[in-house]
Structures are given as structure tokens and as C-alpha cells.
Amino acid sequence: MAGRATPLVLTLASGSPRRRALLEALFATRSSEALGFPLKVVPPRVEEAGEDLPQDPRELALALARRKGEEVPGEWVLAADTVVDLDGRVLGKPRDRVENHLFLRLLSGRTHQVHTAIYLRTPQDLVVEVHTTRVRFRNLSEEEIAWYVQSGEGLDKAGGYGAQGLGMALLEGIEGDFYTVVGLPVARVFALLWERGFRP
């Protein structure tokens, strides 16, 4: 694809620093060599709550990813949304440390699902799909929960924890794609882009 007159630009419809970092690792231009394509980040202004949204966790992730992607213009647009599903109950971003503590107590010693939906709009088509990974927490003591909550790491994350940060100490096992838990199934996104001609 060398010699392209107009470089392709992937627009990420997200305010998540984690999704941005994952995509920059794949697609950002590095040093003097164009090893990838520019990444444009446009956080969408959408409501992530409302009576019109589905209650089912998987369907909620899909609806929010679609809502974010449709809000942002561009030829190549990627949006995603992650929902933590504990036996059908959605655990969103905790409102405060008290709720973060409650979420971790609920997750302690149990297995839950993490659904990450992606919305990819290209000049050729539209892909909207959801990916699911199972996560099991260790049995956590009250002291461990308090330690993690005090860090503040979980306040801006679905379920109230970050698997890629201090939260790794809380996990006992993961069945499926780790990056789906972080917030973006990177290998799948890369494959979808590659198949459609978005290549370094």
C-alpha cells in the first residue's frame, strides 16, 4: 500500500485512553518510518444511560457501540463499548468509591462475563459485533478490596476494576481474549481492517 496519495485515517469514536493506547500501538506512525496510519480520536457525545437502551448486557454493549459510532463522522470509524455482566446484571462504572467497593464484593470469588461490542464503519460496509470473555475473581478480603478501591483505578472502568493495571492482582483466571476485558478485541479489529484494505 506504499505510495498512497491520501493516507488512510482511522477515527476512534471513544474517550477511552486504553483503547487509544491499544490502537496507537498498531497504527500510529513511528519515528521516520510510516509503519502505520494516523489515528484520529473523536470522543462521541452520547448518553450511556436511558430507558430506550436494552437491559440485556450483550445487547446493551452493542447498542452503545452503535450509538457512539453513528455520532462520529468519517470513512473509517471504530467505536466500542464494554459491559460487565454478573449473572445478567450490568455493572457499569461505579459512581463513587462506595459503589466500587460494592462491585468488588459482588465479584469476589465469582465468575462474570465481559462483553465488548465493536462498531466498524468502512467505505465498503458496516460491522457490528460483540465479543465475550469470562473472568474469575479470587476470593478477596475486605482489606484487599479497600486497598484497590483506595487506588481509584476502578472508578472509570466498567465493573469497577482494570485487568491491565492494579486490578490484575484481583483476578484468578480469564477464559477468552484478554484485550476484550481491557476494552477492545485488538486481533479481531486488526483482521477486519486488514481484510478491507486498511493496511500498513
Kindly report, residue by residue over 167-187, the tens digit of the pLDDT: 999 999 999 999 999 999 999
Q: What is the CATH number of domain 10-195?
A: 3.90.950.10
> Catalytic site residue 125?
no
CA 56/CA 90 separation, integer angstroms: 8
Who contacts 200 (Cβ-Cβ below 8 Å, separation ≥6)?
1, 27, 34, 35, 36, 37
Q: Tell me which of 81, 85, 125, 156 is the catalytic residue.
A: 81
Look up the pTM and report it.
0.90
Number of H helices, E strands in the chain: 6, 7
pLDDT tens-digit readout, 20-78: 888 888 765 554 344 456 788 999 988 777 667 888 999 999 999 999 999 999 999 99
| Beta bridge pairs of residue 182 | none
